[in-house]
């Protein structure tokens, strides 16, 4: 893809059949995201933010149109290849943290590296580095149920970035957090974005997140209503 673009959607449409009717979640969405962006999809509930994030993350496929992520066409990607793409190049952060409950903090962060087949020594180094980024090295042995919401989301961030992916998709990452924790994890993600040039794509309607975005795409009823520089970009100017 030209100009360092790592995501390109072309006339992306997603329709969910609901019995005899259908719901159009996305309609003719054409967007391009470059490497190292810190961008967000904003809009009210049901505007198609999560659907777009899922398709970009190869967790779902478009009904029409095309989506290209890191050179892979999502709509034609076999299950195994899609899993490999997610495993090697994409990190996910969820609203409800989605930590694996029977694993410790360390094991949760280590999980993507195990899937990659990374040697034990390199794995350990990478996990400890990721936990350092999110300031949770001292909680490595804790289980998810022993963590606060903010700590859980920081573990989820560490897990998403531990393999240094090209792309991190964060779906409402601050929805379950208070203001202080929200700012803390957003600053963490900004640091990581700056440090390892990972592209962050958010889905949010949280003003706290919106305030940190360098690019803001507003979705309304599945269409791109506005694509503009975010507050952080405006401040930087």
Of 175 and 232, nearer to other proteins (C-beta) is 175
HEC per residue, the chain = CHHHEEEEEEEEEEEEEECCEEEEEEEEEEEEEECCCEEEEECCCCCCHHHHHHHHCCCCCCCEEEEEECCEEHHHCCHHHHHHHHHHHEEEECCCCCCCCCCCHHHHHHHHHHHHCCCHHHHHHHHHHHHHHCCCHHHCCCCHHHCCHHHHHHHHHHHHHCCCCCEEEEECCCCCCCHHHHHHHHHHHHHHHHHHCCEEEEEECCHHHHCCCCEEEEEECCEEEEEEECHHHHHHC
Of the chain, the end-to-end C-alpha distance in Å amounts to: 28
Q: To the nearest whole angstrom, how small is the minimum distance from the Cβ of residue 187 to other proteins?
A: 24
Of 127 and 214, nearer to other proteins (C-beta) is 127
Q: To the nearest whole angstrom, how small is the minimum distance from the Cβ of residue 59 to other proteins?
A: 4
Of 33 and 106, nearer to other proteins (C-beta) is 106
Of 103 and 227, nearer to other proteins (C-beta) is 103
Q: To the nearest whole angstrom, how small is the minimum distance from the Cβ of residue 122 to other proteins?
A: 15
Interface ranges with other proteins (CB under 8 A): 54, 57, 59-60, 79-80, 83-88, 92, 94, 96, 98, 100-103, 107, 111-112, 114-115, 117, 159
Closest to 163 in 3D by CA, of 55, 51, 84, 79: 84
Of 114 and 122, nearer to other proteins (C-beta) is 114
Q: To the nearest whole angstrom, how small is the minimum distance from the Cβ of residue 92 to other proteins?
A: 5
Q: To the nearest whole angstrom, how small is the minimum distance from the Cβ of residue 215 to other proteins?
A: 24
Q: To the nearest whole angstrom, how small is the minimum distance from the Cβ of residue 38 to other proteins?
A: 21
Of 62 and 230, nearer to other proteins (C-beta) is 62
């Amino acid at each position: 893809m030209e100009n360092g673009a790592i995501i390109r959607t072309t006339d992306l449409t997603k329709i969910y059949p609901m019995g005899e009717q259908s719901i159009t979640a996305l309609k003719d969405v054409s967007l391009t995201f470059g490497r190292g962006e810190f961008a967000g999809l904003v809009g009210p509930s049901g505007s198609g933010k999560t659907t777009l994030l899922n398709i970009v993350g190869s967790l779902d496929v478009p009904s029409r149109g095309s989506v290209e992520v890191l050179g892979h066409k999502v709509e034609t990607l076999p299950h195994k290849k899609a899993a490999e793409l997610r495993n090697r190049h994409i990190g996910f952060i969820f609203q409800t943290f989605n930590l694996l409950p029977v694993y410790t903090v360390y094991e949760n962060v280590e999980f993507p590296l195990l899937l990659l087949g990374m040697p034990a020594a390199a794995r350990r180094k990478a996990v400890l580095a990721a936990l350092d980024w999110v300031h949770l090295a001292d909680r490595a042995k804790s289980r998810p149920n022993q963590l606060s919401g903010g700590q859980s989301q920081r573990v989820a961030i560490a897990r998403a970035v531990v393999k240094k992916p090209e792309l991190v998709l964060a779906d409402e990452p601050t929805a379950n957090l208070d203001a202080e924790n929200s700012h803390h994890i957003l600053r963490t993600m900004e640091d990581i974005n700056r440090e390892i040039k990972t592209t962050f794509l958010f889905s949010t309607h949280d003003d706290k997140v919106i305030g940190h975005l360098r690019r803001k795409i507003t979705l309304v009823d599945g269409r791109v209503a506005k694509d503009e520089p975010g507050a952080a970009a405006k401040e930087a100017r």
